[in-house]
Structure 1
Amino acid sequence: MDERQLALIRRLSDGCAHSGQAIAREFGLTRAAVWKTLRKTADAFGLDLISERGRGYRLTTPLELLDDWRIRATLSELGRERLSRLDIHPVIDSTNRELMRLAAEGAPSGSVCLAERQTAGRGRRGREWVSPFGVNVYLSLLWRYPFAPSNLGGVSLAIGAVLAEVLNDIDPEGVDVALKWPNDLLWRRRKLAGLLLEVAGESQGPCHLVVGLGLNLRMTAGQGGAIDQPWASLEEVLGDGFMVERNALVSCLLDAFMDALDHYGREGLAPFLPLWRAHDAYLGEPVRLLIGEWVIEGIHAGVGEDGSLLLDTPDGRRAFQAGEVSLRPLESEVQ
């Protein structure tokens, strides 16, 4: 994305009509070139552009673009102290990939990478995370620990539990989101958000962790057309025209995540388990686990104290660790 394209999107982000004459004057274009330039920009970033005779050009839906000042201003005082770096990219391949690179270069704990759009966003097991421009949350947070990476086995559950609680608290009546082990957030069995956690470091410590979040906020059916599973967006979940301020939501998530990562470093998974279990999506249901070509069927019996999945099988209760296991209900192929 060049600077002119980003400036044009910012100009139109309010959803109001802007005259071709004003755009031409502001951006040094001829009147004849305005429509062509706007059309090219809108097509490149999947935006719906309307030309209205006598009024000008506008986006069909306003955009709330990410803003450094607004995010920092909405953070708690402790959150502002913990936040060491905040990078916002109009377009990037992957926020996790960028932050892992910066971590290897010595970026401090509390570094954050955000993007309006990802061209190579990733979910678990290498799946693509569809990332249209300006409508969702693509966030990665770096946190450093003095201990070994093996101590972080349950951190994805801790972050998932906190994420569920943050979203549930947006609506006074609750959102009724549910967690799918180890790190997916569902609404009515449709995927609302996913977490991708990546760890690196010395075998005995220290280590660093990058927490990546993809959250569907106000994505339309057309923008999510390439997704190969049932999905939902937060504004659909909230309903009744409920609008979520994107920058305020990012601030709230950062506050919650940084607090959880600090807490986890001191006390581990135990304080988060009751919260995770309260949002468990599949407790008591028949499920199927896939580990490569290996398929195990049984009854989902919750999670263990170490964050492992407990499954009641014909051979008794068994525990499975995160990272290589996929959970699917028997009646569908939802991933």
Structure 2
Amino acid sequence: MTPRARALIELLIDGQPHSGAAIADAIGISRTAVWKILHQLDDELGLGLESVRGQGYRLPEPLELLSSEAICSKLDRPARQRIGALEILDEIDSTNAYLLERGRQGRFNNGEICLAERQSAGRGRLGRHWVSPFGRNIYLSILWCYPLAPAQLGGLSLACGVAIARALQGLGVEGIGLKWPNDVHWQRRKLAGLLLEVAGEAQGPSRVVVGVGINLGLRAADAEAINQPWVDLTEVCGGERPTSRAARRGNGAGCHSPNRDVPVCHVPSRNVLAATLIDHLTATLLRYADAGLAPFLEDWRTFDAYNGEPVVLIAGQQRIEGWYRGIDCQGNLRLDTTEGQRTFAAGEVSVRLKPSAPGL
């Protein structure tokens, strides 16, 4: 993003109308150039830009951009001491891919963190696409080094899942559940996900990139590409999902109706949410180096949202049905089948509730 485009967005993030003349004067360009940049940004970023007759241009609602200063000011002391660097990018293909490449080239600091306002090729587990609109959610990756072999990091994704659940709980979010191996759910809908990618020598040391995506305030248009039940923190906290002012003035079409039957909490700011996640994740990454998965097992089982449910495990073309019985001490999934209990490592296995189970 060019400096002028960034400056233009910073003018509009208050959600109020700004005239083309005022924008042109503030940035030092012509009104024609303002119009071109605005429409280019709207096309590329899907901002939902609105033109108000006689007033100018505005965003459908205010946006909070990420700020390294705001995030660092909210970190606890241990996290501030352990992170190697914190970088915020306007746009990147994938924060995970970015840090993996830095690690491969040897140009990194242990504990390096990358956040992005938007990902053009956000990645989820098993090669899935992670929907990553501009300025709406959290897309965060941490690069961490371990003296351990990659095989010893098999339980780290479960430990990091606990860290995310605890971070959200600390912000007043209730009803958080974990779905093996690395999804964070609320009322059986996906709220957040993890993607861990490991590189290193067979006997160690290892570099791991922990990627976290959290839905904070998705618009309906942004969510059209999501192919599973989902939720964002705006809904969880009883707020109103971002939509256009025209929809809000109309008959309700396109509007989100908050679920008033759920506990209402304060929707966290993006910078507070990012700082809280970093606090919990860095503490978890440090503790895992000393003690492995063991200290996190009890918490994981407490958050486990699907223990005892009928499920289908999918491994390539193979489908295995059974009853999910939680995890063992290594973090492997336990499945009761007609042939007895079996265990499965995360690997390339995914879990689905059977069609008869609620929430599918």
In the superposition, the TM-score normalised over structure 1's length comes to 0.95
CA distance in 2 between counterparts of 1:150 and 1:33 reads: 54
In structure 1, the partner of 2:23 is 23
In structure 1, the partner of 2:287 is 263
CA distance in 1 between counterparts of 2:206 and 2:356 reads: 38
- Counting matched residue pairs gives 333
**Where do residues 189-204 of structure 1 align in structure 2 (5 Å cutoff)?**
189-204=188-203
CA distance in 2 between counterparts of 1:200 and 1:67 reads: 30
1:235 is displaced (CA, Å) by: 1.3
CA distance in 1 between counterparts of 2:125 and 2:356 reads: 19
CA distance in 2 between counterparts of 1:226 and 1:183 reads: 20
CA distance in 2 between counterparts of 1:187 and 1:126 reads: 23
In structure 1, the partner of 2:57 is 57
- Whether the 8 Å contact between 2:233 and 2:267 is mirrored in structure 1 is no
CA distance in 2 between counterparts of 1:306 and 1:125 reads: 21
CA distance in 1 between counterparts of 2:294 and 2:175 reads: 23
CA distance in 2 between counterparts of 1:175 and 1:319 reads: 30
CA distance in 2 between counterparts of 1:332 and 1:261 reads: 38
1:288 aligns with 2:312: yes
1:93 aligns with 2:93: yes
Structure 1 residues 47-56 or 197-206, which shifts more?
47-56
In structure 2, the partner of 1:112 is 113
1:131 is displaced (CA, Å) by: 0.7
The code of the aligned residue for 2:295 comes to P
CA distance in 1 between counterparts of 2:235 and 2:193 reads: 17
SS at the partner of 1:239?
A: coil
In the TM superposition, structure 1's runs of 4+ consecutive aligned residues that sit over 6 Å from their partners are: 332-335
In structure 1, the partner of 2:263 is none
- Whether the 8 Å contact between 2:140 and 2:212 is mirrored in structure 1 is yes
In structure 2, the partner of 1:237 is 236
1:294 is displaced (CA, Å) by: 1.2
In structure 2, the partner of 1:181 is 180
In structure 1, the partner of 2:217 is 218
In structure 1, the partner of 2:324 is 300
Structure 1 residues 86-95 or 17-26, which shifts more?
17-26
CA distance in 2 between counterparts of 1:13 and 1:81 reads: 32
Pair 288,67 (structure 1): closer, same or farther in 2 beyond 3 Å: same
Deviations 1:157-208 (A, max 9, x none): 000011112112222xx42011110001111211111100001111111111
- Whether the 8 Å contact between 1:19 and 1:55 is mirrored in structure 2 is yes
CA distance in 2 between counterparts of 1:131 and 1:283 reads: 30
In structure 1, the partner of 2:247 is none
Deviations 1:273-320 (A, max 9, x none): 111111112100111101111111111000000000000111111110
1:27 is displaced (CA, Å) by: 2.3
1:317 aligns with 2:316: no
The code of the aligned residue for 2:290 comes to R
The unaligned stretches of length 5 or more in structure 1 are: none
CA distance in 2 between counterparts of 1:297 and 1:81 reads: 47
1:32 is displaced (CA, Å) by: 4.2
Structure 1 residues 213-222 or 18-27, which shifts more?
18-27
1:33 is displaced (CA, Å) by: 4.2
- Whether the 8 Å contact between 1:169 and 1:175 is mirrored in structure 2 is no
The code of the aligned residue for 1:244 comes to P
- Whether the 8 Å contact between 1:108 and 1:144 is mirrored in structure 2 is no
1:87 is displaced (CA, Å) by: 1.3
1:7 aligns with 2:7: yes
The unaligned stretches of length 5 or more in structure 2 are: 241-265
- Whether the 8 Å contact between 2:314 and 2:349 is mirrored in structure 1 is yes
The code of the aligned residue for 1:16 comes to Q
Q: Percent identity?
A: 52
1:28 is displaced (CA, Å) by: 2.9
